[in-house]
Amino acid sequence: MRKILSILVLSICCLQVQAQKKERVKQVAIPKEDVSDQLLSKVKFRSIGPYRGGRSAAVAGSYKNRTTFYFGATGGGVWKTTDGGSNWKNISDKYFGGTIGSVAVAPSDESVVYVGEGENTMRGNVAEGLGGVWRSADAGRTWKNIGLNDGRHIIRLIVHPRDPNTVWAAVMGHLFGPNEERGVYKTTDGGKTWKRTLYINNQTGASDLVMEPGNPDVFYAGMWRVIRTPHSMESGGEGSGLYKSTDGGETWEPLINKKGMPKGLWGIVGVAVAPSNPEKVYAIIENANR
């Protein structure tokens, strides 16, 4: 008898719990058609940032199509537009990312694109690259790594005007310590092998590299001794200078002692050649005597 009473009490309790659950559901339930009206009618999409897209100093464009451009972002990989910048698509994410210091399109074959990792502006919060140089043979759809991985900052890439496999690279190297993979490099086989043609010492890298317009025999290179620490930057010293090559970057002549050059300690060097008159060469030189 006691067992039967226990079963009856348990059954009654279960029925009461179920009834309470149904009542709670009934009280809070909102018809599906009312959800949109009550909760979503006043909701609108709005931009919530981030409002700053970061910085980029690595850009290149098509020589034939005025609406096709590439840019490399600091921390964002490589992007491409084919409509003059109205829309951009990231083209590196499946292969590499991070900070980009240089982008170059081959003038003689625009399906060939080269990209160098590592920021080209040596700021206080500078971002290094660990992937060296990348090459695409299909205008950015796929990529292959072609070396110089320890260069950390590939700040300039120049492609031969008539040969897409010949490339010159300006490499800064490590900023926070000495290393050997720095200076000016050249490849004639699309990056399968690289030859270092300008090297000063293990603390001096290439701060700039330009080709005389239309003449792949003549190059100018700025070299810069620079050391960063977590709290400072030491700019200038032995090795900083301006150099010229007249044999396609194979050998280099220092111009630091030429007439008109500043005396004393040199720092970072930038250089440009006037397209209308290659005899006109401009250099911006950090110097202790201005």
d(CA 155, CA 175): 13
CA Rg value for the chain: 31
pLDDT band for 34, please (50, 70, 90 cuts).
low
Question: What's the chain's average pLDDT?
Answer: 88
| pLDDT over threshold 70, residue 24 | no
Amino acid in position 252 = W
CATH 3.30.70.3270 fits 58-287, yes or no: no
Rounded alpha-carbon distances, angstroms, from residue 226 to 91, 121, 238, 282:
32, 12, 10, 22
Question: Residues 6 or more apart from 23 whose CB is under 8 A from it?
Answer: none
What pLDDT digit, counting tens, does each position of 139-172 carry?
999 999 999 999 999 999 999 999 999 999 999 9
d(CA 51, CA 217): 45
| pLDDT for the residue 162 | 98
Domains in the chain: boundaries: 58-287
Closest CA to 65 of 84, 92, 90, 78: 84
Percent of the chain at pLDDT > 70 equals 86
| pLDDT over threshold 70, residue 20 | no
What residues pair up with 105 in beta bridges, in sequence order?
113
What pLDDT digit, counting tens, does each position of 180-236 carry?
999 999 999 999 999 999 999 999 999 999 999 999 999 999 999 999 988 888 999
pLDDT band for 123, please (50, 70, 90 cuts).
confident
Q: What is the per-residue burial (b if ≥16 Cβ within 10 Å, else e) of 149-184?
A: eebbbbbbbbbbbeebbbbbbbbbbbbeeebebbbb
Give the sheet arrangement for strand 154-159, strand by strand. 154-159, 167-171, 183-187, 195-198
pTM: 0.81
| pLDDT for the residue 280 | 97
